[in-house]
Amino acid sequence: MRSSPAPKRALFSSSPRSSGPTPSTASSTFRSCGRSEARRRTAKAASNRSKRSSHMLDNHETTRFISVANGDASADPWGASPSAQPTSDEPYARLELGLTAILTLPGLPVFYYGDEVGLAGGGDPDSRRVMPGEDALSDRQKAVRDLARKLGKLRRCSSALREGARVPIHAEPRVWAYLRGDPAADDFVIVAMHASTGPSSAIIQADNLPPGTYVDVLSGSSVEIGPGASLEVPPLTARVLVPAGSACL
């Protein structure tokens, strides 16, 4: 039976272990200590579960994310016309948003081989195609790989992305922004994503963000944030900002 593509349309899915402490755990905690200490232990347990949870876009039993984004998820994996490798930009842009999400949210990013180059594929067994060689990759596939490399290097360098808290900045349909880490410790990353295809950029008010000069790790451009400033995010684009003086640049 073909797996439903619905989870992949949500950009990422987390394991059941990302939920909070079980009722039995919380109950025993409250019985063995005072309420304030119990709350601290319960919050710590929930945080630890979040760090151990994993996020992935697809796997060997599902249709490839990029084929879902290309509207090609229903192709017969056993037939003569399997899911085609996309040639338009939008499926790759949506894949880049998904990769940005799993590499910047709390938890462990999990890549199914080929996601880093936008490998197409229908349901199992078509989702298990041979990994293409360098000469077989299109320029757009190489661009996806470059994004994955940049974010992977940033995550390896930044403890804020590996262990920091997530602070919501902005949330509306198709537009999200959050901060990872602790601005007081000068160790933080700002992430903004715009999943709409409309002609207009999303405008995110940045009044509550730490003022200063930032660098977008993905584009290399500089961004000034201060009183009255806003952050512009074009359609189907992600922005990942770090302070200009960050050691991770």
How many Å apart are CA 171 and CA 5, to the nearest integer?
24
Instruction: Dig out the tokens for 206 from the structure.
Output: 């940045």
Instruction: Dig out the tokens for 26 from the structure.
Output: 């919380």
Helix (H, G, I), strand (E, B) or coil at 54: strand
- Whether the pLDDT of residue 22 is over 50: the answer is no
- Whether the pLDDT of residue 237 is over 50: the answer is yes
User: Band of the pLDDT at 6, cuts 50, 70, 90?
Assistant: very low
Cβ–Cβ under 8 Å, residues 68 and 8: yes
CB atoms within 10 A of CB 57: 26
**Architecture in CATH of 164-243:** Sandwich (2.60)
pLDDT in tens, 208-228: 899 999 999 999 999 999 999
User: Band of the pLDDT at 14, cuts 50, 70, 90?
Assistant: very low
Report pTM. 0.82
Position 114 scores a pLDDT of 98
Residue 25: DSSP 8-state: H
Position 10 scores a pLDDT of 53
Position 21 scores a pLDDT of 36
- Whether the pLDDT of residue 118 is over 90: the answer is yes
- Whether the pLDDT of residue 4 is over 80: the answer is no
Domain boundaries, the chain: 6-157, 164-243
Report how far apart, in Å, the C-alpha atoms of 117 and of each of 73, 208, 212, 242 are.
18, 36, 34, 25
pLDDT in tens, 24-81: 433 443 344 566 665 566 555 555 666 678 999 999 999 999 999 999 988 888 888 8
Position 18 scores a pLDDT of 36
The answer for 129, left when phi > 0, alpha when psi is -120 to 50, beta otherwise, is: beta
Cβ–Cβ under 8 Å, residues 42 and 21: yes
Q: Please write down the HEC assignment for all residues of 149-208.
A: HHHHHHHHHCHHHHHCCEEEEEEECCEEEEEEEEHHHCEEEEEEEECCCCCCCEEEECCC
- Whether the pLDDT of residue 5 is over 60: the answer is no
Mean pLDDT of the region 91-95: 98
pLDDT in tens, 148-199: 999 999 999 999 999 999 999 999 999 999 999 999 888 999 999 999 999 9
